[in-house]
């Protein structure tokens, strides 16, 4: 009974606690870095890549590019990564008073260059994910407001092209159906929306993984 319970427990922990490592140590390791949108697609990405990659993610919400710079060493230490799929942007675009980690487009781009340099030092293949769209012109409530996320995506794209980093355009992938998948007055998605994003994330990771033995 013990041998049967262990795989089931591993699956449940991976699905319910996205920050926990998947128990597939013989497979190439993949690290997901991102905000709550990435938390939403972590479990389906793991399912799609089961048997092909050991998909892990940073604990909790990776928030903004500035927050990422402060925490990268903690997230990267002690593991060898085959692929790192990463995103920052929504928290950078979030305006005060709620946006306590807001960054201008220029500061955001500068932060991304530093982040890419640190990620390249790991030797992993890098995949950048664009930030997903925000409804209602970014004005979700009086206090929950966002600058134009497309300006942040454009700045990030320039950085990634300069640095030779692959781009996974999640913004373009979900925009045609975003209204179908957004929760009411929210930038987060229904499970079906996260499943769609997961398909694109898993595809980009497969393309970056080394050939299977």
Tens-place pLDDT, residues 51-92 = 999 999 999 999 999 999 999 999 998 899 999 999 999 999
Which pairs count as long-range contacts for 109-113, CB under 8 Å and 24+ apart, including other chains? Answer: 109/155, 109/156, 109/158, 109/159, 111/65, 111/66, 111/68, 111/69, 112/65, 112/88, 112/155, 112/156, 112/159, 112/160, 113/159, 113/163
- Residues 81-140 have pLDDT tens digits of 999 999 999 999 999 999 999 999 999 999 999 999 999 999 999 999 999 999 999 999
- 114: number of Cβ within 10 Å: 14
DSSP state of 101: T
Asked if 112 contacts 59 with a C-beta cutoff of 8 angstroms, the reply is no
- 52: number of Cβ within 10 Å: 16
Q: Which domains does the chain have, with CATH numbers?
A: 30-208 (3.40.50.1110)
């Amino acid at each position: 009974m013990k041998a049967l319970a262990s795989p089931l427990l591993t699956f449940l922990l991976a699905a319910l606690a996205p920050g926990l490592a998947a128990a597939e140590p013989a497979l190439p390791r993949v690290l997901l870095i991102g905000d709550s949108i990435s938390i939403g697609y972590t479990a389906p990405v793991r399912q799609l890549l089961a048997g092909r990659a050991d998909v892990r993610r940073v604990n909790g919400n990776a928030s903004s590019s500035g927050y990422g710079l402060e925490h990268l060493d903690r997230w990267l230490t002690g593991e060898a990564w085959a692929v790192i799929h990463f995103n920052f942007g929504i928290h950078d675009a979030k305006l005060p008073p709620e946006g306590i980690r807001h960054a201008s487009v220029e500061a955001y781009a500068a932060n991304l260059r530093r982040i890419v340099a640190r990620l390249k030092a790991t030797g992993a293949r890098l995949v950048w994910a664009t930030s997903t769209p925000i409804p209602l012109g970014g004005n979700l409530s009086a206090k929950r407001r966002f600058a134009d996320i497309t300006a942040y995506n454009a700045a990030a794209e320039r950085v990634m092209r300069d640095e030779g980093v692959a781009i996974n355009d999640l913004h373009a992938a979900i925009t045609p159906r975003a209204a179908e998948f957004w929760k009411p007055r929210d930038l987060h998605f229904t499970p079906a929306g996260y499943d769609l994003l997961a398909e694109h994330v898993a595809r980009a990771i497969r393309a970056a993984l080394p050939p299977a033995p």
